[in-house]
Chain A
């Protein structure tokens, strides 16, 4: 990793008003959790449904998408990436630095609020909050790596990332059960299933398979992003 790249990326991603806009989304999640706690009371099934549908299925992928593409997409878009690439820093190291910022951002803005929302709604009972927190944490890293790779590969990274997150994981996943075995969402939910002590969540993927797939995806995507950055060609404006 390279400190300067990390610092510059961090400032480009979270400098100015942007951190507040991102924080707003986390606050909305927490506000809904508080609202549900006040209206419904403590109901572990509600906690699991809410965190599963809003946090793991929507907030974490969207954050991973915005942050994962945001750390490098705009630079490639406006061509200023050449100034970074012309420095004597190896391309895989640049990717690793960018990934560190993206993963940290997603964890801070999506996984931590998920954990806190779990605590607000269920306390520490049955390790529900912990289960969803860990799932969100791992999913954050995985999504960051995937979408970082995507934004090195294509200029329309956000759109293709959306297609994966919404159509593959959301729409196809609810109709075609087979599509669920290849989705970050289900892999991370299998972690939740393993950690929580009560039977609230069910995942279609076994824990061992999910763990291996997650590791392969995170490492593989990061490695391949480094390789692709080595041969990056700057396309002109369409």
Chain B
């Protein structure tokens, strides 16, 4: 022991923090990393890991099967049985469930346990919080969509399909997946931010995503095949997030469409692109608006 502090009863050894203060950017980055890990249950309890990991596995399983089929039948067909760009639409329910489960998980606890005001008492701005959460969920969804595409890509390369063509297709599909991720994460977070109760958030998100997709697809099918109006059916695709982004990647990235009706003509394509960006912008604006004022009571 060195010298004892003398004559002081209350000095119990607390020290001030005198290290470097890292500032806004680092706070945002830390929250981003924390939220991204949280979306897959990393750093949380084992029970929280079950669901996201299960969904990741379920998401990857069809891709693995496709990769195996490609290798077995490559002499006959000479291609993947399912194009990369259609994979997201085929597995849409899994994506919807992942989003419905993880978007409220990312926001609702902060609201429910009133930790949001604590975040904002730090150098962090409102928009930093939104940026970190939005970025983290979009990245998490993007990773969920990327894994199966990579599995298919590896399968295609092992089957000795032309590498250049496959790489090009994969990159375009990844770009489409990124748009899917940003749009869906935005919609999920906007809904999730409105309620501190996880259950309501989950139900609301799935209602918006699944019901709008089912309703729009059914209407599109009826109008296209029973009425024979392919243009009107194409315009209807704007009304649900899944068909919207599918139309976007059909028109911009030349992907093969999975919707009942693709965007009608060039004007339709431009409108799809504009609406897609408008949705992303609106989600960002609404989230910022939501966090301008967070009740402490």
A binds B: yes
Is the CB of B161 closer than 8 A to any CB of chain A?
A: no
Starting from the known contacts A46-B226, A49-B218, 13 additional A-B residue pairs (CB-CB under 8 Å) come to A36-B219, A39-B223, A40-B226, A43-B226, A50-B218, A58-B210, A62-B206, A70-B199, A158-B100, A158-B199, A162-B93, A238-B45, A238-B48
Q: Is A53 a contact partner of B97 (Cβ separation < 8 A)?
A: no
Is the CB of A89 closer than 8 A to any CB of chain B?
A: no
Q: Is A77 a contact partner of B198 (Cβ separation < 8 A)?
A: yes
Q: Is B47 a contact partner of A66 (Cβ separation < 8 A)?
A: no
Q: Is B203 a contact partner of A53 (Cβ separation < 8 A)?
A: no
Residue of A45, A46, A158, A167 with most chain B CB atoms under a 10 A cut-off: A158
Is the CB of B215 closer than 8 A to any CB of chain A?
A: yes
**Given the contacts A159-B202, A163-B97, A66 and B215 also touching, CB distance less than 8 Å:** no
Is the CB of A123 closer than 8 A to any CB of chain B?
A: no
Which residue on B lies nearest to A39, using beta carbons?
A: B227
Q: Is A159 a contact partner of B101 (Cβ separation < 8 A)?
A: yes
Residues of A within 8 A of B45 (CB): 238
A4 → B minimal CB distance (Å) = 23
Interface residue tally on A, bucketed by range = 35 or more
Contact among A32, A59, A156 with B101 in the assembled complex (CB-CB below 8 Å): A156
- Complex Cα distance, B66 from A136, in Å, reads 36
Residues of A within 8 A of B199 (CB): 69-70, 73-74, 77, 158
**Given the contacts A66-B207, A69-B199, A238 and B47 also touching, CB distance less than 8 Å:** yes
Residues of B within 8 A of A62 (CB): 206-207, 210-211
Which residue on A lies nearest to B96, using beta carbons?
A: A166
Q: Is B219 a contact partner of A162 (Cβ separation < 8 A)?
A: no
- Indicate with 1 or 0, residue by residue over A140-184, a CB within 8 angstroms of chain B CB atoms: 000000000000000010110011001100110000000000000
- Complex Cα distance, B88 from A181, in Å, reads 27
Is the CB of A25 closer than 8 A to any CB of chain B?
A: yes
Contact among A40, A58, A65, A163 with B203 in the assembled complex (CB-CB below 8 Å): A65
Q: Is A170 a contact partner of B93 (Cβ separation < 8 A)?
A: yes
- Complex Cα distance, B214 from A166, in Å, reads 11
Contact among B100, B214, B222 with A162 in the assembled complex (CB-CB below 8 Å): B100
Q: Is B211 a contact partner of A58 (Cβ separation < 8 A)?
A: yes
Q: Which of B54-100 contact A (CB under 8 A)?
A: 58, 91, 93-94, 96-97, 100
Q: Which of A59-83 contact B (CB under 8 A)?
A: 59, 62, 65-66, 69-70, 73-74, 77
B64 → A minimal CB distance (Å) = 15
- Complex Cα distance, B156 from A111, in Å, reads 47
A205 → B minimal CB distance (Å) = 22
Is the CB of A232 closer than 8 A to any CB of chain B?
A: no
- Complex Cα distance, B44 from A227, in Å, reads 31
Which residue on A lies nearest to B105, using beta carbons?
A: A238
B192 → A minimal CB distance (Å) = 13
Ordered by A's residue number, 14 sampled pairs between the chains whose C-beta atoms are within 8 Å are A49-B222, A62-B207, A62-B210, A62-B211, A65-B203, A74-B197, A158-B203, A159-B100, A159-B202, A162-B206, A167-B58, A167-B93, A171-B91, A238-B44
Q: Which of A82-135 contact B (CB under 8 A)?
A: none
Q: Is B206 a contact partner of A46 (Cβ separation < 8 A)?
A: no
Residues of A within 8 A of B211 (CB): 25, 28, 58-59, 62
Residues of A within 8 A of B214 (CB): 53-54, 57-58
Is the CB of B217 closer than 8 A to any CB of chain A?
A: yes
Residues of A within 8 A of B202 (CB): 158-159, 162
Contact among B91, B101, B215 with A58 in the assembled complex (CB-CB below 8 Å): B215
Is the CB of B31 closer than 8 A to any CB of chain A?
A: no
Residues of B within 8 A of A159 (CB): 51, 97, 100-101, 202
List the 10 closest pairs (A to B, CB-CB), nearest first: A58-B214, A166-B93, A53-B218, A66-B203, A158-B202, A159-B101, A54-B218, A162-B97, A73-B199, A238-B45
Contact among A35, A65, A73, A156 with B51 in the assembled complex (CB-CB below 8 Å): A156
- Complex Cα distance, B219 from A162, in Å, reads 23
Residues of A within 8 A of B58 (CB): 167
- Complex Cα distance, B211 from A29, in Å, reads 10
Contact among A50, A69, A74 with B222 in the assembled complex (CB-CB below 8 Å): A50
Is the CB of B268 closer than 8 A to any CB of chain A?
A: no
B107 → A minimal CB distance (Å) = 15
Q: Is B226 a contact partner of A166 (Cβ separation < 8 A)?
A: no
Which residue on A lies nearest to B202, using beta carbons?
A: A158
A59 → B minimal CB distance (Å) = 7
- Complex Cα distance, B222 from A43, in Å, reads 11
Residue of B44, B218, B219 with most chain A CB atoms under a 10 A cut-off: B218
Q: Is A70 a contact partner of B203 (Cβ separation < 8 A)?
A: yes
Q: Is A53 a contact partner of B210 (Cβ separation < 8 A)?
A: no
Residue of B96, B203, B210, B227 with most chain A CB atoms under a 10 A cut-off: B203
- Indicate with 1 or 0, residue by residue over B161-203, a CB within 8 angstroms of chain A CB atoms: 0000000000000000000000000000000000001111011
Residues of A within 8 A of B210 (CB): 58, 62, 162, 166
